[in-house]
Structure 1
Amino acid sequence: MKNQASGVIGDFNKAQQDAGITIFVPRDAAFARLPQSLKIQSLPADKKALVIEYHAIHSYYGADILKILVNPFEPTLATEVTNATSFRFSIAQFKGYVVIHTGIGKRSVVMETIYDRKPLAIYSVSDVLLPRDIFQ
């Protein structure tokens, strides 16, 4: 896993230096609520790395932009790493909240801004973002 982790860190650093990066960090309780069939710990290292990269977008979306953003097919860092058209999620607005939907489970709500200074934005989200490409 160490090599996979260093690859993820390298991908995050490269994205930040290019167009910026937006990262969605699940709260601790989100991991505890995952059903046993969706536990990330049981995945092989390469799949764990993809799940981590699935929580990041290779674009800087500051809080003002994120509040008005609507994108039904947002590519993630996992999309880029796999050179595929998969590993995408949708970002939308619902009742004044920014929500992310992966196609698995309920929508994750952006709860708060942790850090927002170009080229990096970090937000906490209510639920773990589960890529359909891994958890079908």
Structure 2
Amino acid sequence: MRGSPLAAAAAFLFVAVLLPLASAATSGGSGKAAAAPAAAKAKAPAAPPNITALMSKGGCKSFASLVSKSPDALSTFQSAVEGGVTAFCPTDDALRPFMPSYRNLSADGKASLLLFHAVPVYYTLRSLKSNNGPMNTLATDGGSRGYNFTVQNVGDQVSIRTEASDAAARVRSTVYDRDPVAIYAVDAVLEPVELFEPAEAPAPAPAPAADAPRASTRARGHRPRHVADAPGPAADDAAPADQRKNAKKNVAGPRPRWLAAITASAVAVAAALV
């Protein structure tokens, strides 16, 4: 039995129109489902840089090891990376002679020293060259403690000076520079004055011989007078003028008074005998 024309038309419509639409909808949905994880993966934030690993690769392996062994310093460095940080890591050659002093510090002192080598701001080398003056460090602790150093620039040379050292540490190379992290290798350990004695001021240079005051002719020809009865200045002109005057009065004054007393007694005796 042959089908009716209406049934044949319905079958044709399903095969020619509805079936392709259903296939397209199915394939499109699966494509979107497959693309969703890829898009989510592309938008995932990048992991923060490992600052100690970067230091190690840049010639500061020993300093990076000290940071890794200090829980307080390591956690502070890792937290600072997200907000921006500039670290100054001493090279292995610079840190080696300082290690005996480092071992004598307490655990808190070691952490403070390590954190003293970084500032909580991202600085390119160019911006460092335009910033002269004191800077807070990660050891400053919100301003409740000092732990500041001073950046000084002479030409293209960036130097860091502290009150505990008479020589400045100089930036030798750029280890890493990508916002928000910058790391620079320095040729000396940064010593905070809060942990180490301040550097001694250099002694003033002696005055030239021509500028030195000359002794007077009287002083050169004068020989000190010996005083046997009491210790004191070797010469009268070694004491102030008013003291010399009083001394002369005290030495020469008693003789007339004793003579007058003796004379009066003699007169009285003679009168009694008469």
Q: If the length of structure 1 is used for normalisation, what is the TM-score? A: 0.86
Matched, 1:111 2:176: no
AA in 1 matched with 2:122: Y
Q: CA deviation at 1:74?
A: 0.6
Closer/same/farther in 2, CA of residues 17 and 33 from structure 1, 3 Å limit: same
Instruction: Write out aligned runs for 1:13-92 (5 A).
Output: 13-18=78-83, 20-34=84-98, 39-71=101-133, 73-80=134-141, 83-92=143-152
Deviations 1:86-125 (A, max 9, x none): 1000001024200000112210001100000001000000
Aligned length: 130
Distance 1:122 1:58 in 2: 12
Distance 1:21 1:35 in 2: 25
Distance 2:125 2:140 in 1: 23
Seq. identity, %: 32
Select which of 131, 138, 157 maps to 1:97. 157
Larger proportion of helix: 2
When Rg is computed on C-alpha atoms for both structures, the one with the higher figure is 2
Distance 2:144 2:151 in 1: 19
Report the secondary structure of 1:78's partner residue.
coil
The CA RMSD measured in Å over matched residues stands at 2.2
Q: CA deviation at 1:6?
A: 2.0
Distance 1:95 1:103 in 2: 22
Distance 1:35 1:21 in 2: 25
Distance 2:147 2:121 in 1: 15
Q: CA deviation at 1:69?
A: 1.6
Report the secondary structure of 1:89's partner residue.
strand
Distance 2:105 2:87 in 1: 21
Q: If the length of structure 2 is used for normalisation, what is the TM-score? A: 0.44
Report the secondary structure of 1:113's partner residue.
strand
Larger proportion of strand: 1
Deviations 1:53-93 (A, max 9, x none): 0001000001221122212x211000026x52410000010
Closer/same/farther in 2, CA of residues 69 and 13 from structure 1, 3 Å limit: same
Question: What 5-or-longer segments of structure 1 have no aligned partner?
Answer: none
